[in-house]
Structure 1
Amino acid sequence: FGSGLAVDLLHAVLAAHAGIPSIALEVIEGNERAIAFYRKHGFEVAERRPAAHGVGGHASLIMRRMLPMA
């Protein structure tokens, strides 16, 4: 834990998507560690998906972050 790899990967993804207005991701509801990580990096819950429409049959959250326009 705490190697900084997740932050490095997130920054690489954000850099690769520069110039678009926002980016979204899906996280399984209840994965509090991941949700806290994404919130810390500017993502907010935009939508909740019930289990029938979530990842692998689990309820999930769509989290979105606005990106700076170049």
Structure 2
Amino acid sequence: MRSRPRPDEIPNKPGAYLFRDAHGRVIYVGKAKSLRSRVSSYFGSGLHPRTRAMVEAAESVEWVITD
């Protein structure tokens, strides 16, 4: 991923998140009770190799708050 979002940029609210590749295609969609916690977890250590490959292939991540 080109640039990782700072935790304070990610809302601490429930919602959905999308990882996109360099062509803008959605490569992963997830949901979370806390977007900040869940999205940040993709940038830590100890990820499954397949998950690590997805994050490395991602160019951007975006989210949608759902109340």
If the length of structure 2 is used for normalisation, what is the TM-score? 0.29
Question: Which fold has the larger relative contact order, with Cα–Cα distance below 8 Å and residues 6 or more apart in sequence?
Answer: 2
Name the one with the larger helix percent.
1
Q: TM-score, normalised by structure 1?
A: 0.28
**Which protein has the larger Cα radius of gyration, Structure 1 or Structure 2?**
1
